[in-house]
Amino acid sequence: MSPTAKAAAVAVWRRLPFFLWLIALWMLLWGQFTVLAAVTGLVVALFVTRVFRLPPVELSGRVNLWYGAAFVVMFFFAVLRGSLLVAWQTINLARYPGTAIIAVPLRTDDDLIMAHVGVTASLIPGSLIVDVDRDRRILYLHVIGVSSDRDVEAQRASVQRWEERIVRAVGSRAQLDAIRRTPAPRGGAGR
């Protein structure tokens, strides 16, 4: 195999997960898992990847199924817990739930991990990403249910623990080492 053909094969292999995700997303949007939906998803994925030139996402090539499954289970319970807390804060007329915008410094320097952490934090009820400082690796979140500095620190620690869980599931060895060197503070809410 010539070096050009090998480089092209490597480029296709690196883009394959994103390409397959676009096809699956197309099929989910239409709610059809048919050959026709797959073929039209392929056409749309080709169109999107050719018209909108996105930089290739560098995956770590490392997936830990145990930590991935643990992440999914913990995320499910965090969403459930967050939903119940927000519902309680809504109907509890005796106490107004405090709000805050907090800065959460991340320990890894990777756009994909930062995106995963941001999406995870936003999907858990009670918090929402409002800004991202990519250069300094800081996520800014709007959170409800905080009434003290201790609550703010608990929220910050919670997001940093989500970062740790994501890195343990899909991060590179270098990212895993960065997480091990500076562990997230323990304690606080499980959001």
pLDDT tens digits for 5-29? Answer: 777 777 777 677 777 888 888 888 8
- Tell me the average pLDDT across 57-85: 86
**189 or 108, which is more confident:** 108
pLDDT tens digits for 160-183? Answer: 999 999 999 988 888 888 888 876
- Classify residue 128 by its DSSP letter: E
Whether the Cβ atoms of residue 99 and residue 144 lie closer than 8 Å to each other: yes
CA distance 43 to 150: 51
Whether the Cβ atoms of residue 144 and residue 152 lie closer than 8 Å to each other: no
Give one DSSP letter per residue of 42-73, joined into a string.
HHHHHHHHHHS-PPPP---S---HHHHHHHHH
- Please say if the pLDDT value at position 31 is more than 50: yes
CA distance 160 to 114: 11
pTM of the entire predicted model: 0.70
- Classify residue 146 by its DSSP letter: -
C-alpha 85: how far from chain center: 22
- Tell me the average pLDDT across 114-141: 93
Q: Of 147, 141, 143, which is closest to residue 95 (Cα–Cα)?
A: 147
- Please say if the pLDDT value at position 143 is more than 90: yes
Backbone angles phi, psi at 52, to 5 degrees: -100, 95
- Please say if the pLDDT value at position 191 is more than 60: no
CA distance 63 to 81: 27
Q: Of 92, 75, 89, which is closest to residue 145 (Cα–Cα)?
A: 89
Angle between helices 35-51 and 3-30 (to 10 degrees): 120
